[in-house]
Amino acid sequence: MSRTTGRKSRRPSQQESVPILSAAYLKNAKSKKDIISRLSAITNALESDPELDPSDAPGLASLSTLLVQPDSFLHHKDSDVRLHTLLACMELFYVYAPEPPWDEEEILNIFRVMVRMLGNLGHTLESSGSGVDGGGTSGNSAETSCGENSNNYEHYFRILELLSEVKIGVVLVELVRSTPTDLDPSAEDELRQEALEILCDLIRTIITCVHVDHPPEVAAHAEVAVAACIEEFDGSVPVQVLDEILVFVGAGPIQWVTNPAAVRAAAAVALAKKKRQPPPFPQSEMPPAQIQQTNPQYLVAAKIIRRTEDKISSPIAALLNGLLGGDADVVTSISVVDLTETTTTDARGKTVSTPSAAAVTSTGQVAHTGADVWSITYELHRIAPQILTTVIGTVASSLVYPEVGPRWRATKLLGRLFAARSSNIAVKFRICFSQWLRRSADTEQKIRETMVKGLVSFLTNKSHETDLCQDVNESLATILTKDPSLDVRLLAIRQVCELAHNATNDAISDTAATTPSATTSNTTTPPSRTYTPDISVFSAELLLAVANRVSSKNKIERRDAITGLAQIFHKHYIRKILRHVQDGGDDCDIEVILRVLHEHCSEEQIKKYKFVVEAEEKFGWIPQKVFECVYFSDATDPELRNRIYQIVDDVLLDGGLTATSRAVGLAIILHGLKKKGKENAFKWMCALFSQRSQLQRALGLYLDARVKAKGCEAGSAEAFTADAEAMEKLEVVASLSSPLVGISSSNSDSSADMSSVLKRFHTAKDKHIFRILSTIASPTHSPSARKRAFDELPKRTKGMGAVSVAWTKALARRCSMGAFVNFESIEHCIILAQESFEANDCKVSSLFLTCVKTMIASFPALAATKESFKNLVEFLEVVRTDVTPEAKKELEEYGIVTLISDILAKSASSMPASDVGGKGNGDDEETISIYETLRSQLLRLCKNDGTPEQARNSVHALSSLVNPVSQHLSLPSRVKKEKKEFEPLLKALVAPSRLAVPDDSMASKQKSKIVSVLSAIAAVAECAPYAFNSTGEGKTPLCWGERAIDFSLNAVLLGKNTSSNLSNEEYSSDSGSESETESPAKGRRSSTARGNKAAVASSKENDKVNISVHCRMICASIEVLICHIRATIVRAKADGAKSELEAPSTEHVAKVFKTLIDI
């Protein structure tokens, strides 16, 4: 602003001949208004002539004297008179520069008024209101708010402008530096001290008067005015002056101020309450009481320090060293002595440490209250880091203080300095950094907690400092594994896991803004910057240290550790691996899927890629830890068990992934769990899903029993009996669900027990509760059914009490299928297995089939859906008919056919009756065709070229298709169907061409067929005992099963009738030619000896094959005998008096077991 901006020249009246620039002109004033008018005219006259020479205005000296006389205009009772008098005096400072026309006392009086008047600038805005001084010693107090309409803003601004342009404050500096020699020493010291106090008041007022809503010129003039005073000092700057500047530095770049919207809202609410009206808006929509705002005083102080850094850097460093070192002279001479922090609660309800350097008033000003040297030191690293060159060592020396207070504050300060993104102090002061790291093992818990926060902050902002981050990782790992305090370990677990989960591969998040600095422009809501480190900054050892806490004795520690690790695994491992599959959607190209699986499931491929190896070491073991936590049962830690269900269902493979991505992720996780050394985790996973399967079945049985009870006549004995049975089944459900201790709620009734909860639940009148539960009692329910159960059940059970609501929610979570495994993922696993085979990759195909096999062991129905079963049958047909010799070898190597047959055997048992094909059942042609295709392939596996396991699986699948579980046929109908299906098969299996001891001259593959035949016969004996014991055909009275028993017992175990070329008649006549009491070992030896006569010169490898075949044949024969005895007795008892089965004779059972004992 120019010297003449906004000014109008005032001319003396034509009737008045007295010069304006004279004492007489001012004395002629008649009233207060006239005084103000004449003072304005004097000021304008002085301002309009910048080249005015005092010798050219004879009355100027008398005018100067008159203005400052006691009880005169400068000390007038009216503030406006004082204000205009001060403006005139300041213009006189310019005219008389460099020697003002007043003595020392008068100069000090002028500056006292100047301080009071200038303080009002902070309460006025341009073209707005004004404030006036209240006669205090500081400009921080004002009588008038900024709401009054006045033009005084420009007068206050003019004071600051003159201080900046004319550098009037230098006059005070001169008084501080030297005094007239005609005074005695004590008076000189007193004057010097008084001048120093006023100078400090002036500097404080200049900085304080800057408001966030002022134009930038105000801050610029304040900076120049204060800098001029500091630069005028020849030697050391007084510590009192430094104190006034550092006070505002310690306040920081951000301050909390009263929210005007909150004030208005509170007033509106109060007015509505007074008028007995409803509040204008709900309490939840009330604006926050405080908001963040850029601290303009901090910005001005920072610019002053930068502008005068050469002059004040050494004094500031000496001052800080004196304060930190406890120098008594320094501590007693200034206000920066408060080495503590005050704890307050901000508008968000969060506890924060507020430096005592400044207190923010409701008007946004900073009230001087002392300073926090630790905060000042930290802020200086942003403004002028070179100042701290000698200070860091002093701070580091405080790390070994015996007192906890200084040690803790030094630890906190160094942590903030080392972690500051805008500095490289940790690199420059490596020794101090090492000393700071050693505080991780401090004896004081408070210091160790501060170290955790500091170490995590360092990883956040300094991820590019690889070597230093490695040291930080080691310190955090030591805290996690060795710290004796649970609170410290929990803090470390939560902060490390949260930071690792939020980490990205970019140094700064996309939504980040800029941190306010000393050069940031004033804004009401200052922008903030959110830094997230690269995930590579976290070492595998640090994450393993977190995993170490999973085995802690503390439940909270276990739960927090495993939850954090699971979230890290999902974001930084499985999501990253599946990103290309996810981008491809459910129809992702199979080549992309194969590449992903080979990179992470093939040991040869993994070693080729360093990033894959590092990812495996850092994250690949996390699912193992998750499933090992299943070890903690409901009796030990029910809350952890509930958390594991949640992690498995919603974290490892979340619902945001496509079904194809979840299928690929499932294959990767299960492949990792099956690696050597992780077998326990795989078993615990199976146990977890087995418990869920049992719960689903128990819930289904309860719901059926409840329906049955509701269908009985009310009050009848039948109704009471059915209701009691339903209640018993509900208790079984409760035993498999979460106990109440695992779902305790702060709002729950402490006296509630499980029996009362179950009674309330069982007697609930809302039928929709049980309809919802019925939708999730089957493993094939949809994700939408699960979501509906989670949303609706808490609402519908609310009237039962908080405990019942919590128990029902836990029941729904434990029962429903999550994203880790459900019918969608299994269906896609089957499809991907088929596509992988068509892409000539049997290894990947076996991975997907293994996933299906593993999961249907607990949930057979997942592969029994119509679409999945159809795909399995098609897959089986393809691998059995349309394969090249090379592909056939791969099929055998990876056991594709065996896996498919196993899946079919287990899933067929869960197929609904309506999905079981067969002519005459009313099924469509496609279903009948699928059934016929499956039947023909299964029979081929039984009779021709299937392995023992494939033959056994095929018989079980056929049995399930003939008699599905859900089909309730009469016993005669079931027996008829069983015989129709299995008698032809059994007849073919016991034919002499198949049921014969192999010759040593046969090929190894031909020799092994007898094992498959015996395995199929054993399966028939177990699944179809009526067909097995039915009367056979031919000239002998033996049924087909008896022929198999005779062969297994006599020919194989007792070594009789070993010829493989016997007809039916020869086989039957020879069956009892040898003594039944012959030793089984002797018979096997003689049989082997006869067979070996034609192969005396056979190789050792052939001997191994022979031994293997004979051993397997003996085991299969034992299985035939045991299955026959067990299945016949069990089925006969189950079917009761209507059964046609006759239990094996006592002599036969005794003979079999005697033989087994001899073996």
- pLDDT for 1042-1067, tens place per residue? 888 888 888 888 887 544 443 444 33
Bridge partners of 258, per DSSP, are 290
Q: Coil, strand, or helix at residue 403?
A: coil
The pairing of strands 358-360 and 366-368 is antiparallel
> Between vectors from CA 569 to CA 564 and to CA 575, what angle results, nearest 5°?
135
The pLDDT of residue 1062 is 39
**Tokens representing 192?**
């010097």
Would you say residue 861 has pLDDT above 70?
yes
Lowest mean pLDDT among 17-21, 250-254, 992-996: 17-21
pTM of the model: 0.80
Q: Model confidence over 640-686: pLDDT tens digits? A: 999 999 999 999 998 889 999 999 999 999 999 988 778 899 999 99
Let me know: does 46 contact 3? Beta carbons within 8 Å: no
Average of pLDDT values for 921-930? 70
Query: Got the DSSP string for 1022-1076?
Result: HH-HHHHTS---SSS---HHHHHHHIIIIIIIS-----TT--HHHHHHGGGSS-T
Q: Cβ contacts of residue 682 below 8 Å, gap of 6+?
A: 627, 670, 673, 674
Distance from the Cα of residue 960 to its chain's centroid:
45
The pLDDT of residue 913 is 54
The pLDDT of residue 606 is 65
Q: Give the residue among 1008, 958, 968, 1010 at the shortest CA–CA distance from 989.
A: 1010
Q: What is the DSSP letter of 369?
A: -
Distances (CA, A) of 726 to 704, 710, 719, 736, 789: 8, 10, 10, 16, 22
Element (H, E) at 257: strand 254-258
Let me know: does 1036 contact 1065? Beta carbons within 8 Å: yes
Lowest mean pLDDT among 447-456, 517-526, 936-945, 999-1008: 517-526
The pLDDT of residue 337 is 47
> Between vectors from CA 262 to CA 256 and to CA 266, what angle results, nearest 5°?
140
> Residue 678, class by beta-carbon neighbours within 10 Å (0-12 exposed, 13-18 middle, 19+ buried)?
middle
Q: Coil, strand, or helix at residue 142?
A: strand
**Tokens representing 297?**
């005083």
Distances (CA, A) of 1150 to 872, 1121, 1132, 1145, 1155: 43, 12, 19, 9, 9
The pairing of strands 351-355 and 254-258 is unpaired
Let me know: does 369 contact 358? Beta carbons within 8 Å: yes
> From CA 653, how far away is CA 847, in angstroms rounded?
17
Question: Which region holds residue 276: left if phi is over 0, alpha if psi is between -120 and 50, else beta?
Answer: left
Average of pLDDT values for 427-439? 94
The pLDDT of residue 980 is 87
Q: Residue 564: how many CB atoms within 10 A of its CB?
A: 24
> From CA 1112, how far away is CA 1105, in angstroms rounded?
10
The pLDDT of residue 58 is 82
Would you say residue 1073 has pLDDT above 50?
no
Average of pLDDT values for 526-543? 77
> From CA 529, how far away is CA 39, in angstroms rounded?
52
Q: Coil, strand, or helix at residue 1094?
A: helix
- What's the number of CA atoms in the CB half-sphere (13 Å) around residue 522? 18
> Residue 35, class by beta-carbon neighbours within 10 Å (0-12 exposed, 13-18 middle, 19+ buried)?
buried
Average pLDDT of the chain?
81
Would you say residue 1129 has pLDDT above 60?
yes
Confidence label for 228 from pLDDT (cuts 50, 70 and 90):
very high
Q: Give the residue among 62, 59, 63 at the shortest CA–CA distance from 39.
A: 63
Lowest mean pLDDT among 405-419, 457-471, 648-662, 1081-1095: 1081-1095
Average of pLDDT values for 799-827? 92
> From CA 889, how far away is CA 1104, in angstroms rounded?
22
Let me know: does 416 contact 454? Beta carbons within 8 Å: yes
Would you say residue 1086 has pLDDT above 70?
no
Q: Coil, strand, or helix at residue 779?
A: coil
Would you say residue 788 has pLDDT above 90?
yes
Let me know: does 348 contact 290? Beta carbons within 8 Å: no
Would you say residue 65 has pLDDT above 90?
no
Q: Cβ contacts of residue 506 below 8 Å, gap of 6+?
A: 532, 534
Average of pLDDT values for 588-606? 85
Let me know: does 60 contact 54? Beta carbons within 8 Å: yes
Q: Give the residue among 382, 365, 466 at the shortest CA–CA distance from 416.
A: 382
Confidence label for 530 from pLDDT (cuts 50, 70 and 90):
low
Let me know: does 794 contact 808? Beta carbons within 8 Å: yes
Would you say residue 527 has pLDDT above 90?
no
Would you say residue 514 has pLDDT above 70?
no
Alpha helices per DSSP H over 462-585? 466-482, 486-502, 540-548, 555-569, 575-577, 579-584
Q: Give the residue among 983, 834, 980 at the shortest CA–CA distance from 903.
A: 834
Q: Coil, strand, or helix at residue 547?
A: helix
Would you say residue 746 has pLDDT above 90?
no
How many residues are there in the chain? Answer: 1159
N- to C-terminal Cα separation, the chain: 114
The b/e string for 805-827 (b: 16+ C-beta within 10 A; e otherwise) is bbbbbbbbbbbbbbbbbbbbbbb
The pLDDT of residue 179 is 55
The pLDDT of residue 752 is 63
Q: Which residue has the higher pLDDT, 115 or 945?
A: 115
Confidence label for 605 from pLDDT (cuts 50, 70 and 90):
low
**Helical axes 404-419 vs 445-461, angle rounded to 10°:** 10
Q: Cβ contacts of residue 1126 below 8 Å, gap of 6+?
A: 1022
Only one residue has tokens 């070993």, namely 1058
Q: Cβ contacts of residue 34 below 8 Å, gap of 6+?
A: none
Q: Give the residue among 1070, 1096, 1081, 1082 at the shortest CA–CA distance from 1000.
A: 1096
Confidence label for 1077 from pLDDT (cuts 50, 70 and 90):
very low
Would you say residue 482 has pLDDT above 90?
yes
Q: Residue 156: how many CB atoms within 10 A of its CB?
A: 26
Q: Which residue has the higher pLDDT, 790 or 343?
A: 790
Would you say residue 138 has pLDDT above 50?
no
The pLDDT of residue 742 is 57
**Tokens representing 515?**
């941190």
**Tokens representing 172?**
């005070």
